[in-house]
Each structure stands twice: as structure tokens, then as C-alpha cells.
Amino acid sequence: MTDSDSDKVKRVLALDPLSRRQFLKRAGLAGAAIGFGGAIVGCGDSTTTTTAAEGTATSATTAVTVGEEMGREVKVGWVTMTTGPLASLSEPDDFLLAQAKAAVGDGLVINGKKHPITWVVKDSQSDSNRAAQVAGDLITGDQVDLMMTGMTPIVCNPVADQCEANGMPLVSYGAPWQAWFFGRNGDPAVGFEWAYHFFWGAEDMIAVYTGLWDMFETNKTVGVLWPNDPDGLAMADPVNGFPPVMGEMGYKIVDPGRYTNLTEDYSSIISQFKAENCEIVTGLMIAPDFPTFWSQAQQQGFNPKAVTMGRAILVRPDMEAVGDSGNGLCTEAWWASTHPFTSSLTGNTCMEQAKAWEDEKGTGYNGSLGLTGAAFEVAIDALKRTTDIDDPASIRDAVKATDLQTILGPINFSTGPVPNISKTPLVGGQWQQGGEWPWSLVVVNNDAYPSIPKSGELIPLGG
Amino acid sequence: MSGRQLRVERQTRASRVGVPAAIIILAIAVSLPLWGSSNLMKTGVTFLTLVALAQMWNLLAGYAGLLSVGQQAFVGIGAYGVWALAEKGGVHPFVAVPIAGLIAAAFALPTAGLTFRLRGGYFAVGTWVVAEVFRLLVINIAWLGGGSGGSITSVGRIARDTREAAVYWLALGVAVGAVVLVYLILRSKGGLALASIRDDQTAAAGLGVNTVRSKLWVYVLSAFGCGTTGAVIYLNLLTVQPEGAFSLNWSALMIFTVVIGGVGTIEGPILGALIFFGLQQVLSDYGSWYLVLIGTIAATSAVFAKQGLWGILNRRWTLELFPVRRRVDLDSDADPPATEPDAQPTDRPKGSASAPSEDG
């Protein structure tokens, strides 16, 4: 039984917890009734809503005749970034959603009953207000049972705040854990109750980037481009950020200060880098900014020997925006087809998963194919282990107890540096041209996680 | 002319019916947390705060002729005010709401000092620039969370039922407060001054209206309203980030709502909020196309219906829920007037009625 079928059944029986459109219709009717002084209509309406869940279960049983006892539909809310400046990170969303739906099929067995699973997907538009708004809608409007959200503190943090305040279990991914945990006033002694997050942290990025710099012959002078936003501030932090580590390792920092995202003129920064003879550039620009900086650097004849750039060149479409002069740019690799992991959902190895993407889409894969894919694995695994699907705390406990080998590596929220966090592996990657696809992210440094193999040799910047 | 009597009145038939109707609607809206679902309350907060913001922009543009596209400055200050008071100052978040509004009003004074030197389009651009300056300042103040912003965790810790009901009542408070504030201002002597400024600033000054003082009052009150509303909005959203709090979208939202509803009326922004809200609920999942549609509606409305939907309705049926305009009626026992009295609504038609805010 497909999602739309089950939806139809419920709508016919009018037992669905109000969808937004239905809500509007009824609100309209209620409004009209109110005009005649009938506040009672509103009361009747809300009672129907509360009894909806049980009724649905029975209707589903009759509609589908399968051997197993059928349970009610389980809804998973997903706040992602379909549009907006950070949308390139969400390229594999549809592909992964289809894969997850196929893997779940007509339902998941949760504590002896088979429950159909539906995903309610909302676009955060890469905007924190919108992310908070749609997360709230999913919780109170769609009444989802579990939430997923991903990519950058701009989206993950507001969604996590909503979940935490409203008692909604959350699987979050794709933001450095410091920004997610400390950015939300997290106390390491207490942690959070409802929201769980997996990704790497500033310390991993520092290890990977310094590892990459050591591979180049340079004068060890580093120009930094850390913007004034949650991620940038974490990197620039004088205690937990790059500066102390760089000092220890003998790298000299040239820091023009926190610039504002979507800056259009980098000429003064470039002049400073040139004047101080920076041979390495690092930073954490957002995707629209790096091509601007890079083309201006070329125009002004600034040619560093090594560039390690976070965020802006994570995924293939970003490199297409940078163009040929980006051959040899380095970034952190969250995931690559050569990683030695297997999906718990599809049984695909990383190579098979990348191949599946490439065959279907006809383009190279993104690192988020592995990252977002792991979020589906964690969510589905948690639902399977849930003992009482009608109790959010039971779903939360299942998420909390996650100990899963995913396509992204092992995920276990009790192993993190602070509560609610699971760290995932990070290695050093370099964008290279001339492979099967116009751009491939080659793992050139695995010092931080030696069990992940290197997939190629370092090339000099510029090819 | 001798057979006719001139009567000057504010009341319309609609306003006489409207008052009891408004009381009933208000009673239902106030009691909503007792019978409504969480979702209804949350939807209510979004709608009511939109009404409040639209009223505040309408007060500026529709009555004082101050076309501001920088009201997001005060929404943002309200948001940061409530965050700082609750998280850093230990003030109860609900108590912090009106204080955040006062902080916004305090910031409005120096802002006015700068922007009031400009007129028309220059004023609009000036307010926008000032809003950007506030955003950049906040980003550079580490105490306010810098570029990261922060979470209003103290609200999150309040029991869910209490929090939802309280935030809803606060939202209802700002919406009703905004409407009542605008209504009272317009019925006061100052309202008459504002109307004259709106129609012709130079002429108003020539007649002895202190235009600067009137506009300053309105500007500060509007900042207070936007700040208070911003605080309520962020008690609902829970995460304050500079890009979001000082987003130009807040002004776009206000302008759109007022333009399609009807500028220069109290009822217009309420109708506009209903329309915008309905569109958003039904269409917002269509991403870019939704934005294209919203833009088209706003442009069409600005070109073909300058008085907004309310203006159109009002021209047909002269019905004012909030009677703020004086109407001259000719009692026509003797000579037949040009048309029936009700369809002869003085100078330019403004304000009318129907049922606003059905779910509160």
C-alpha cells in the first residue's frame, strides 16, 4: 500500500489527524459557524482529532491483507534544504528518500506490528526562521512521530530547539558538533533530552587541514577566511579553534578578521594575503562566496600553493561553479565511494551506492549521499527498535541507544565528546579533474582515520 | 439646499453590528487555548503576529506617509531583546516581551534622527540601511552570540501546555493591541493631524500641524509594536539568528499584507493577513513558484487595485468595522441626491467590513 493510498483511506474515513489543508477548510467552516455564535463546533472538531490514531490502525488493517498484524501509519518529518544558498548539499535528497521508501516497502515491523512509514518533507529554504516554522508545523500540524533534519547550524539548531521544547525525538546531521551543542547553550554535564546529532567537529577539521598542509611544500604562512557565522566563529575560536593548533605546528596565521557572508569584494583581503606572502589559504566560505573570492584572487595574481576550503566546495556542483582553475583544491571529505562501509538499509557498499546514484542520475555523487543516507539508516533503525511507537519517549530512547554501522561509519550517541553527539570520520580530500566524471573528490590524506583507504595521490594546485 | 440636512458621523451600519460581533470573536479567540489544539494555537500565533506587524507598517505608511522598508530592525531588536533579557538577564521570558518592545522604541529615537532627514524613496532606502547596520552590529557583538545567535532555552523549559497558551495569548495581545492602538490614534486629535500629513505634508505644516512631532510619535509607537511582536514571534521560533531576525523578509511580509489588503485602513491589513496566511498555508510547499505567485499578486494589486482588496469591497458596500472617518450624509427628504446615501462615501473610500480573524 502506497502512502497516497493509505492517506486516501484515512481521508475517506475522516480519521486523519488534521492535515494543514483540511485544517484550513475546517477552520473556515468553524469560522463561519462562529459567526453564528457556535463555539461548540470547535470543541467537536478537536475531539475527532484526538481519536484519529486508533481508528486509522483499524482501517489500515482492513485495507491491506498481509499476514502480519498492521499498525498505524508512522510519520517521519524531515526538514531539509531544497532551496536557498545551501541547497547544493541536498542534491541527493530525492534519491535517498526513494531508496528509503523502497527499503521500507509496505512497512516496518515495530514491536510485532507492521507500520507503514511516510516521510513528510519540508523545505527550510536555508533560513533559520523558516526551519523553526516548518519544524513546528511538523510537530503540531502533521503530528510526526520522529524528526530528521540536516545541514548547517542555520537549519539544525532551530529544528533541534523546536524538538527539544516540544518533546519530539530528532535525528540531526551535518553541522559541526560544537556549533550544534554549544551554540544551543548545551551543558556537557546534562546534555539534551530529545535531540541527537552526528557529524564531526572543529578538532577533526583542524587535524585534516593541517595534515593536508603538511603534504605541500610551503612557507607555512596561512591566510584564513573565516566568516562571521556559527561555523566560522567555531574555527576562529582562540581556545578550541584553529589558532592554538596552528601555533603549535609552526604555521603563521594571517587573519583579516571575520568577514560577512555574501561579501562581494575580497580585494583588500587578497592584497593582505599577497603582502604577507601567504602560500596556503584556508577558510570556511559558503558556496556562493568562494567562486567570487577565487576569481578575484586570480585577477589580482594571487596564486597560493595550497587551498583547503570548508563548506564552499564540498559537493560537485560547487566545483562546477569554480571552474577549471579549481583543479587541486582541497577540502574535508565526509564520505567517498572508497570508504570501507556498508549501508544497513540497502546493504550497498559505498562503491555500490555511488554507482547506483551515478547510473540513475548520470552525474558524479556528492558527499552528502553518504551523510544524509546515514540519517535515514539511523531513523529507520531507531523505529525498528522502538518498543512503544505511541510514546515519543520510547522512540527517543531507541534513538539514544543507537549503535549502528552505517554507510558513513559507526554511529553511537554515547561515544561522543559531549552527550547527544556521535562523531563520524573525516579525511582529507582533493578535487581532481580527469577521472570518470569531470570532478572527483579523491581521498589524499587518511591520517585522521587510517581504516579509510586513500583513493589517489596529491596533485599540485592548478593541475 | 434648504430641504437637506447635513449630518457628520463616524458610525456606519456595519460598525454598529461590528462591535458586538467583534466582542464575540474576541471572546472565542481568548478562550481558544481552553478548547483548541496545539496546532490551532501555533497557527494562531503566526497569523496574529502577522496582523500586528501589518498594522504597524500600515500606521507608518498608510497614515503618516512614512514608507519604511526597515521595520525588520525593530523586529530583530525585539527578538534579541527578549533573548538577552531571558537568557542573560534572567528575566521571565513572558515579562521580557513588553520590555523588548520598549528597547525597540528606544532605538527608534536615534534611528528617526537619522532617517527623518530623508523623504519618500530616500527615506525607504535609509530605513533599510539602518536595519542592515543593526544586523551588522549584532553580528559583531560576541555577547549577543555574534553570527551564531542563540536559543531561548528558558522558554523551551516551560511546560509545553503553559508555553503554548501563554505565547498564544501574547500574540493575541499584540494583535488586538495593535488594532486598538491604531484605532485610538486615528480617533484622537493626533489622528486628524496624521491624516492631513498623509494627504499633503506641506499643506498640513502650513495649517499648523507639527509634522515632525506627529511622525516621530508614530515611528516610535510602530517600533514598539514591531519590537513587541518580534519578541512574541521568537518565543514561538525559539532560535534567534541575526540573518533571520533582521531579515528583509519581515518588511516584505508587512508590505505585501498591507498592499493586498488595503493601505490606510484598519481592516485592510487584517484582510491582507488572512489572504497571505491562506496562500502560505496552501501553497508554501511549492517553493519558488509560491514566491512567484505572491510577487505577481502584490504587483497586480499595486497596479490595478491601489486601495487593495478592502478598497474594492468598500467602494461596493460602505461598511466600516472601525469607524475612524467622518462621513457627511445628506438627508434627502427634499431633493433626490445623485445616488443612495450609503453609496456616497465622502472623499475617498476607505475602510469597510466583513468578518476578520475568524479563528482568532
CA–CA gap between residue A147 and residue A76 (Å, rounded)? 6
Nearest to B139 among A49, A157, A228 (CB): A228
Residue A52 in this model has a pLDDT that exceeds 90: no
Nearest to A128 among B21, B244, B287 (CB): B244
Please tell me if residue A38 touches chain B, with a CB cutoff of 8 Å.
no
Residue A303 in this model has a pLDDT that exceeds 80: yes
Instruction: State what percent of residues in chain A have pLDDT above 70.
Output: 85
Between A93 and B360, the more confident residue is A93
Inter-chain touch B358–A34, beta carbons under 8 Å: yes
- Given a contact cutoff of 8 angstroms between Cβ atoms, the answer to whether B148 and B241 are in contact is yes
CA–CA gap between residue B296 and residue A360 (Å, rounded)? 37
Average pLDDT, chain A: 84
Give residue A50's pLDDT: 32
Give residue A28's pLDDT: 43
Nearest to B156 among A42, A161, A260 (CB): A161
Between B95 and A49, the more confident residue is B95
Phi, psi of B297 (to 5 degrees): -60, -45
Residue A15 in this model has a pLDDT that exceeds 60: no
Cβ–Cβ contacts within 10 Å for residue B273, how many? 30
Residue A53 in this model has a pLDDT that exceeds 80: no
Please tell me if residue A18 touches chain B, with a CB cutoff of 8 Å.
yes
**Least trusted range by pLDDT, from A147-161, A261-275, B12-26:** B12-26
CA–CA gap between residue B244 and residue B242 (Å, rounded)? 5
Residue A128 in this model has a pLDDT that exceeds 70: yes
B/e letters for B327-358, b = 16+ CB within 10 Å, e = fewer, are bebbeeeeeeeeeeeeeebeeebbbbbebbbb
SS3 category, B85? helix
ipTM of this complex: 0.79
Strands A330-333 and A427-433 come out as antiparallel
CATH topology of domain B7-317: ABC transporter involved in vitamin B12 uptake, BtuC (1.10.3470)
Average pLDDT estimate for A92-118: 93
B/e letters for A195-211, b = 16+ CB within 10 Å, e = fewer, are bbbbbbbbbbbbbbbbb
Residue A43 in this model has a pLDDT that exceeds 70: no
Give Cβ neighbours of residue A35 (< 8 Å, ≥ 6 apart): B21, B355, B358
Residue A114 in this model has a pLDDT that exceeds 90: yes
Residue A16 in this model has a pLDDT that exceeds 60: no
Alpha helices of chain B — where are they, by DSSP H? 13-35, 38-58, 72-83, 93-115, 120-139, 153-156, 160-187, 189-199, 201-206, 211-237, 242-245, 248-261, 267-283, 288-304, 308-316
Query: Most A CBs within 10 Å: which of B133, B239, B271, as the mutation test of the A interface?
Result: B239
Give residue B13's pLDDT: 66
In tens, the pLDDT along A401-434 reads 999 999 999 999 999 999 999 999 999 999 999 8
Give Cβ neighbours of residue B296 (< 8 Å, ≥ 6 apart): none
Give residue A6's pLDDT: 46
Crossing angle for the helix pair A40-63 and A3-13, to the nearest 10 degrees: 130
Domains of chain A: 31-200+339-422 (3.40.50.2300), 203-333+426-445 (3.40.50.2300)
In tens, the pLDDT along A203-254 reads 899 899 999 999 999 999 999 999 988 778 878 888 878 899 899 999 999 9
Please tell me if residue B17 touches chain A, with a CB cutoff of 8 Å.
no
Please tell me if residue B289 touches chain A, with a CB cutoff of 8 Å.
no
State the 10-residue block means of pLDDT for chain B, 360 residues long: 61 71 88 90 93 94 89 96 94 95 96 89 93 91 85 88 94 95 87 83 86 90 96 95 92 92 88 89 76 85 82 73 64 46 41 36
Please tell me if residue A42 touches chain B, with a CB cutoff of 8 Å.
yes
Give residue A31's pLDDT: 38
* Cell output for B272: 491582507
- Given a contact cutoff of 8 angstroms between Cβ atoms, the answer to whether A305 and A460 are in contact is yes
| Four-CA torsion A281, A283, A286, A290, nearest 10 degrees | -10
Chain A's closest residue to B164, CA to CA, is A166
Cβ–Cβ contacts within 10 Å for residue B47, how many? 25
How far A341 CA sits from the closest chain B CA (Å)?
34
Give residue B4's pLDDT: 63
Please tell me if residue A22 touches chain B, with a CB cutoff of 8 Å.
no
Q: Structural domain boundaries of chain B?
A: 7-317
Nearest to B39 among A23, A128, A131 (CB): A23
CA–CA gap between residue A32 and residue A27 (Å, rounded)? 8
Taking CB atoms and an 8 Å cutoff, what residues of chain A touch B241? 128, 154, 157-158
